[in-house]
A = this chain, B = another copy of it.
Amino acid sequence: MLAELGKKARKAARQLALASTVQKNVALTQIAERLWEEREAILSANQKDVVAGAAAGLSPALRDRLTLTESRLQANVNSLRDIAVLDDPVGEIFDEQVLANGLKVYKQRVPIGVLAVIYEARPDVTIEVSALTLKTGNAVILRGGKETIHSNRALVAAIRKGLEKSDLPLDAIQFIDNPDRALVQELLKMHQDIDMLIPRGAAALHQFCRQNSTIPVITGGIGICHLLVDESADLESALQVIQNAKVQRPTVCNALDTVLVHRAVAGDFIPRLVARLSEDQVTFRADEDAFEILGGVSTDRVQLAQQGDFDTEWLSLVLGIRVVDNIGEAIEHIARHSTSHSDGILTQNAQNAERFFGEVDSAVVYLNASTRFTDGGQLGMGAEVAVSTQRLHARGPMGLQSLTTYKWVVIGEGHIRE
């Protein structure tokens, strides 16, 4: 069954590669309309998943990711329309040159081909990934988590109804409507028909894909994110930025996990931080120095950080705090504990910012801003297919261009190599 999906996807990809931008945009608009028309069916299917998820004891973080509301769906449909009006990277010509021997050489952007995306309880991913892959002329095989099976069935049905109203192949977007995990194992070996595999989910899934896939894998979406409150930080601004990074949507990968505080401001700042974020029900894991500053007594609110706490992506209202002696110690902490997703410095000192940017090698590095901006939509890409934390092909939020490759075109007049 999967092998057939793969062959259909490959065939669709060949057609999609020749589709015009207008054809693809019409299809996206049709899909957006269908999704919105069928919102009741979609939300009610999603409700089934949410109820089942609650019964199955899904964590609050996963339940939040799973939940579609009319306003979230509206936002997804809007991002689909945003994608339709974005420039189509396919066909773009770049790096043109005429060599000394007269050969004309350029590169031209082309689709990657067939993508497979494995993800968990996030129905919004179904919409975003379908839109981005279609816009870039790629075919996609979706494999959502079993927790979202009803939502995904409803979403993919609407998406394919939209495709039917376009002249693009229906098999551009396919969905593995079977939660059997053995199928994932099979999928990972289909390098003949799948060109790129994107797992979106927990670390275990990424590791599983890395160990077992013969298809190139883009890993990402796991963020142990840091903000350093430097000696010269604007402390009031720092409070707001940290509050936003931790509290605004704690269940996602760009939410803050650990605050590093320069010793010179720790005594002043840390108690204010705890007071401010306590209003939002945040609890804290403090290193010894921070724990001491906070009174040295365990409470419901504040605990001494244990082994592994600084290596945990919290995905909830928990925040680590550590006091550092200097920026070098902060950079060292980040090198050891970060997943190289999103890390920032809050400072008014330009030299320190520059050093931080030079030595912290994360996908996104920040100065005086919330880590929550690590997002394709926020950074002007319309939407994102994933946030890559690996170093090849694409890094950080992956928008349209990350879903393309290029071919070299060489034009001669009977040129031969000497």
Q: Establish whether residues B393 and A393, one from each chain, have CB atoms under 8 Å apart when the complex forms.
A: yes
Q: Is A32 an interface residue (CB 8 A)?
A: no
Q: Establish whether residues A391 and B103, one from each chain, have CB atoms under 8 Å apart when the complex forms.
A: no
Residue from B211, B370, B406, B412 in contact with A369 in the complex, judged by beta carbons closer than 8 Å: B412
Residue of B nearest to A410 (CB): B366
Residue of B nearest to A359 (CB): B18
Q: How far is it, in angstroms, between the C-alpha of A349 and the C-alpha of B417 when the chains are bound? A: 23
Nearest CB on B from A362, distance (A): 7
Nearest CB on B from A232, distance (A): 14
Q: How far is it, in angstroms, between the C-alpha of A239 and the C-alpha of B47 when the chains are bound? A: 68
Residue from B210, B218, B378, B408 in contact with A395 in the complex, judged by beta carbons closer than 8 Å: B408
Q: Establish whether residues A103 and B369, one from each chain, have CB atoms under 8 Å apart when the complex forms.
A: yes
Contact sample, A vs B, 24 pairs, CB 8 Å cutoff: A18-B358, A103-B369, A105-B380, A113-B391, A191-B210, A210-B214, A216-B217, A218-B392, A234-B414, A238-B414, A241-B414, A241-B416, A244-B416, A244-B417, A361-B407, A364-B409, A368-B414, A368-B415, A373-B415, A373-B417, A395-B406, A396-B407, A396-B408, A397-B408
Q: Establish whether residues B361 and A411, one from each chain, have CB atoms under 8 Å apart when the complex forms.
A: no
Interface centre among A218, A368, A407 (most CB of B within 10 A): A407
Q: Establish whether residues B103 and A373, one from each chain, have CB atoms under 8 Å apart when the complex forms.
A: yes
Residue from B112, B411, B412 in contact with A391 in the complex, judged by beta carbons closer than 8 Å: B112
**Extra contacts besides A99-B379, A373-B410 (17): CB < 8 Å:** A191-B210, A211-B214, A216-B216, A216-B392, A237-B413, A243-B416, A244-B416, A244-B417, A245-B416, A248-B417, A364-B409, A368-B413, A372-B417, A373-B412, A391-B405, A395-B406, A396-B408
Number of copies: 2
Residue from B17, B196, B408 in contact with A365 in the complex, judged by beta carbons closer than 8 Å: B408
Q: Is A240 an interface residue (CB 8 A)?
A: yes
Q: Is A110 an interface residue (CB 8 A)?
A: yes
| Size band of the interface chain A makes with B | 35 or more
Residue from B17, B405, B412 in contact with A392 in the complex, judged by beta carbons closer than 8 Å: B405
Which residues of chain B come closer than 8 Å to A248, judged between CB atoms?
Answer: 416-417
Residue from B17, B103, B372, B410 in contact with A361 in the complex, judged by beta carbons closer than 8 Å: B17
Which residues of chain B come closer than 8 Å to A211, judged between CB atoms?
Answer: 214
Residue of B nearest to A105 (CB): B379
Q: How far is it, in angstroms, between the C-alpha of A162 and the C-alpha of B103 when the chains are bound? A: 36
Interface residues of A in 212-231 (CB under 8 A from B): 214, 216-218
Residue from B217, B392, B417 in contact with A112 in the complex, judged by beta carbons closer than 8 Å: B392
Nearest CB on B from A371, distance (A): 9
Q: Is A390 an interface residue (CB 8 A)?
A: yes
Which residues of chain B come closer than 8 Å to A359, judged between CB atoms?
Answer: 18
Q: Is A82 an interface residue (CB 8 A)?
A: no
Interface residues of A in 242-282 (CB under 8 A from B): 243-245, 248
Q: How far is it, in angstroms, between the C-alpha of A414 and the C-alpha of B373 when the chains are bound? A: 12
Q: Is A323 an interface residue (CB 8 A)?
A: no
Q: Is A357 an interface residue (CB 8 A)?
A: yes
Q: Establish whether residues B216 and A97, one from each chain, have CB atoms under 8 Å apart when the complex forms.
A: no
Nearest CB on B from A241, distance (A): 6
- With A358-B18, A416-B370 already in contact, the answer to whether A195 and B240 are too (CB < 8 A) is no
Residue from B112, B196, B364, B369 in contact with A415 in the complex, judged by beta carbons closer than 8 Å: B369
Residue from B372, B378, B393, B411 in contact with A368 in the complex, judged by beta carbons closer than 8 Å: B411
B interface footprint on A100-131 (CB within 8 Å = 1, 0 otherwise): 00010100101011000000000000000000
Q: How far is it, in angstroms, between the C-alpha of A215 and the C-alpha of B276 when the chains are bound? A: 43
- With A392-B393, A417-B372 already in contact, the answer to whether A99 and B367 are too (CB < 8 A) is no
Which residues of chain B come closer than 8 Å to A369, judged between CB atoms?
Answer: 103, 410-412, 414-416
Q: Is A158 an interface residue (CB 8 A)?
A: no
